[in-house]
Structure 1
Amino acid sequence: MKHTAGRKATPQPIADAIRTVPQPPKAMSTDAKVEWRRVMPVLVERRVLSAADMHAVERFCESAADIKDARAAIAKDGAYVENRLGEIKRHPAFATLREATAESRRWSAELGLTPASRSRAGAHEDSDETDDNPLAVE
């Protein structure tokens, strides 16, 4: 018996896939909406999302926004801040950053947005998608 604990399902094209990029939910933060507009075209093109999967994309986008907010707070205030007792402590936003990064990593793997999850799904085998990949870092 092969041990598969912790392995994620590989996103595969589905019959009832969303075919057009939906608008981001109105309640989303501005930064989460930016992330939505960045990743949704890729996910829709891959035909891996149904209407039931929107919560996963929302959570991924909100965690990306939380990462950005935490980094901004740390950049503004510094890595170490004084608490109410006058003691120097690590900025509390580091906890948010750590939690949001872990959540983002989990959701990105579920959605097939990591190199490892794409390779398991065969999403980039024998293709020249890197030139047109909106998620590619330039």
Structure 2
Amino acid sequence: MRGAKGTLRIVTPMKGEDEAIPAPPDFMSADAREVWLRLAPQLVRLKRLEPHYHELFAGYCEEVAVYIAMTRDIGANGVTYETGAGRNGNQKRTRPEVHLRKFALEGMIRLGALFGLSPIDEKRLGAASQGDLFEDLMRAVNAPSA
């Protein structure tokens, strides 16, 4: 006995095959554009970078760019500086870049959560994996018969 012929309806196209990656907005810095170009393809595949989110994602990319720039600066110049001889003598102070990096990291965490860019936020947004075949099979076997 011959089975039914396959049709194109049975073949499901892979996700993200025909989706265009949006260009970074013109107002972004060069470093932030690099972050956009690196992360946008994955967010498009996950359906998390819709057109009305572009400015918000651009803000995330700018925070990452500031974080990277401040980290480079701290690596080159250190965490502290000396005030020089003054009324209270020579004192060590924290460089402003340390605080700027901290604020950028906080912004990254806050905005990144909206796009599922941390492991916990990814789970929260339901970034479902392909599932566990054994678990699906056991659920089907143990299902009550109709």
**Structures share a fold, TM > 0.5?**
yes
Q: How high is the sequence identity, in percent, across the aligned residues?
A: 27
Q: Equivalents in 1 of 2:121, 2:113: separation in Å? A: 6
Q: Equivalents in 2 of 1:49, 1:73: separation in Å? A: 31
User: Could you tell me which amino acid in structure 2 is paired with residue 30 of structure 1?
Assistant: A
Q: Equivalents in 2 of 1:31, 1:79: separation in Å? A: 23
The answer to whether the 8 A contact 1:60-1:104 is kept is yes
User: Could you tell me which amino acid in structure 2 is paired with residue 79 of structure 1?
Assistant: V
Tell whether 2:46 aligns with 1:42: no
The answer to whether the 8 A contact 2:44-2:50 is kept is no
Q: Equivalents in 1 of 2:46, 2:130: separation in Å? A: 15
Tell whether 2:52 aligns with 1:52: yes
Higher mean alpha-carbon deviation, 50-59 vs 100-109, is at: 50-59
Structure possessing the higher relative contact order (Cα contacts under 8 Å, 6 or more residues apart): 1
Listed one character per residue, the Cα deviations across residues 88-122 of structure 1 (whole Å, up to 9, x for unaligned) are 21111011011000000011110111111111222
- The unaligned stretches of length 5 or more in structure 1 are 1-18, 128-138
- The unaligned stretches of length 5 or more in structure 2 are 1-18, 132-146
In the TM superposition, residue 83 of structure 1 has moved relative to its aligned partner by: 3.2
Question: Once superposed, which parts of structure 1, at least 4 consecutive aligned residues long, lie more than 3 Å away?
Answer: 83-86
Q: Equivalents in 2 of 1:83, 1:64: separation in Å? A: 30
TM-score by length of 2: 0.68
RMSD: 1.9
